[in-house]
Structure 1
């Protein structure tokens, strides 16, 4: 079986690279002699990291190669992750939404089947974006989405022709390999109460940096935690982490991981922490995978959906409702009830892992 995978790959985003690794590993586990090609912005790096064939993902060059691969493909996997959205400006041929839909349309023209795979849908708010979704997304052969909200959103957008099944983020099927590179990079005594902190730039609510800094200062003083910032998207998250630390009185008690570790290395590190406080969706998924209780700061419905499924929504916040005093209280409660909450998270994560593996089973059922 020949598979082409299209997504946000080769751009240094830990969550998306974890998605790709989970897809590739599970395809190889479940399908004999599967032939995989990935459309990537860094094709040489992606080929080396995943042992796959690659083609440059952009339109500037290697378009003949894209067509060649799609003509030979049995199925295009579009996803996973939040590809179908117009948070970034969407014009006729520019922006993520038209890109991924046009790749899917090209695959159909080339005779390949199309599966939107383990996707989180939206937001799609522009008139042009809604037209693109209704015209092109309805041409997909099959769709799996990572939460019920995404399925409902698709139907609201008028995407009703392809069968749509709710599963879970494919990263819940990630195959963890032991690797302590992150831990070795830090100067630690060994008895610290580590708390993973994942932040990202978010300009609409940039007051959250100061609130988070205040909460971490108090938790260091009262609970004796050691915050470790985990940058999930390179220099963007490194800069956001430094911004929080600059606002802290006890920044010397914090650590900042480098922004170039692999998804598997970040996953292993988070698994060693007492708790996670995070904005990035996949920092929270990594926490759930390793049964680490987590407090999410939700900037998007996809984060809120995950927190409800993991069992940690009662301790979490929408970004616009973020309250430093409530975070302090919730964090103290999570730390006090860590073992109990860890068991709850583990049970919920096991359920989501089964749902995530269903993505592969459904692909086999529909296209083999």
Structure 2
């Protein structure tokens, strides 16, 4: 079977690269020698990393190659991840929303079937965005990673394709042993590690000071070593430095490099006692590894994940951070880690089964 994969790939985002790795690994395990082509901003790197064919994703280059790939394909996989949203600027033909939907339209014009795969939907608030979303009715089949996304599609009038709730395909990530992250740190071996994931979020910066206060207390009262995990390169590195600038005990923190692979970050998080974070896939990695976690939810997708992992009661909306309460929650998770690790592990097993359904449903719906 020939499959084209379209998503936010080749841009150095750890979460999206983890999505791609999980899709590729599970397609290869579930199908008989699939021929895979990925639309990527860094096609040569993507091709070398995953041993696939790759075509430049943008419109300005390799348009004929994209058309040829879609014409030759049996299926376009659009996803996973949160592709269909207009939180970032959306113009007539530019922005994430028009790009991904026009790829879908192009696939249908080429006679290729389309599956929205393990996607998170929204927000879509602009009038033009809501009009563009009607193109989603061209899809032959849709899986979404949470009930919120399914409801969102229905509210936007996307009712023609069958839509099934599964979970983020990263819950089916195939971990490979790799300790390069932890080996890169100057550790003695007896530290109580707390993974910290922060990201920029438009003009909102108050969370950096709030995170700093919580981390200072954890250092003082439990002797933890916070380790910042910059999952989107210099963007997260800069955000991490902003947190550290507010801390009294910044000298007792560490930061990983920005060039580790998703699998390496996953292995590192698995060595930690707890995660406090914003990045969705840092929290997903924590869930996968059975690590208790507290989320600063900047988007419904984060809240949805935290509810499914069992950690929402200990987390908060980014705009409603209660520092004393979250600090107390963090101390509780550390002190009763074994119990909460079991809660997270149990929920992760259920979400892994749901993630693998994405592949089974693909095989069923497209008669592979």
C-alpha deviation, 1:324, in angstroms: 1.5
5 Å matches for 1:106-185?
Answer: 106-134=106-134, 136-185=135-184
CA–CA distance in structure 2, aligned partners of residues 219 and 260 of structure 1: 28
Q: Structure 1: which 5+ runs fail to align?
A: none
SS at match of 1:20: helix
**Residue of structure 2 equivalent to 1:243:** 242
**Which segment is superposed worse, 212-221 or 300-309?**
212-221
CA–CA distance in structure 2, aligned partners of residues 190 and 324 of structure 1: 30
Q: Report the TM-score when normalising by structure 2.
A: 0.99
Q: Report the TM-score when normalising by structure 1.
A: 0.99
SS at match of 1:203: coil
C-alpha deviation, 1:332, in angstroms: 0.4
SS at match of 2:295: strand
C-alpha deviation, 1:325, in angstroms: 1.2
1:186-228 Cα distance to aligned partner (Å, 9 max, x none): 0000000000000001234311111111111111001111000
Count of aligned residue pairs for this structure pair? 367
5 Å matches for 1:63-74?
Answer: 63-74=63-74
**Residue of structure 2 equivalent to 1:38:** 38
CA–CA distance in structure 2, aligned partners of residues 238 and 19 of structure 1: 21
**Residue of structure 1 equivalent to 2:321:** 322
1:84-134 Cα distance to aligned partner (Å, 9 max, x none): 000111111100000000001100000110000000000000000000002
**Residue of structure 2 equivalent to 1:267:** 266
**Residue of structure 2 equivalent to 1:213:** 212
**Residue of structure 1 equivalent to 2:255:** 256
SS at match of 2:84: coil
SS at match of 2:37: strand
**Residue of structure 2 equivalent to 1:347:** 346
CA–CA distance in structure 1, aligned partners of residues 355 and 211 of structure 2: 32
SS at match of 1:197: strand
**Residue of structure 2 equivalent to 1:7:** 7
CA–CA distance in structure 2, aligned partners of residues 10 and 65 of structure 1: 17
CA–CA distance in structure 2, aligned partners of residues 179 and 322 of structure 1: 35
1:18-76 Cα distance to aligned partner (Å, 9 max, x none): 00000000000010110000000000100111000000000011000000000010000
CA–CA distance in structure 2, aligned partners of residues 218 and 306 of structure 1: 26
C-alpha deviation, 1:266, in angstroms: 0.1
1:111-159 Cα distance to aligned partner (Å, 9 max, x none): 110000000000000000000002x101100000000000000000000
Q: Structure 2: which 5+ runs fail to align?
A: none
SS at match of 2:83: coil
| C-alpha contact (below 8 Å) 1:205/1:319 kept by paired residues | no
The root-mean-square deviation of aligned C-alpha atoms, in Å, is: 0.6
C-alpha deviation, 1:337, in angstroms: 1.2
CA–CA distance in structure 2, aligned partners of residues 214 and 103 of structure 1: 45
CA–CA distance in structure 2, aligned partners of residues 216 and 22 of structure 1: 32
**Residue of structure 2 equivalent to 1:26:** 26
C-alpha deviation, 1:246, in angstroms: 1.2
CA–CA distance in structure 2, aligned partners of residues 71 and 82 of structure 1: 25
CA–CA distance in structure 2, aligned partners of residues 325 and 187 of structure 1: 31
**Residue of structure 1 equivalent to 2:89:** 89
C-alpha deviation, 1:327, in angstroms: 1.6
CA–CA distance in structure 2, aligned partners of residues 146 and 341 of structure 1: 23
CA–CA distance in structure 1, aligned partners of residues 204 and 338 of structure 2: 33
SS at match of 1:33: coil
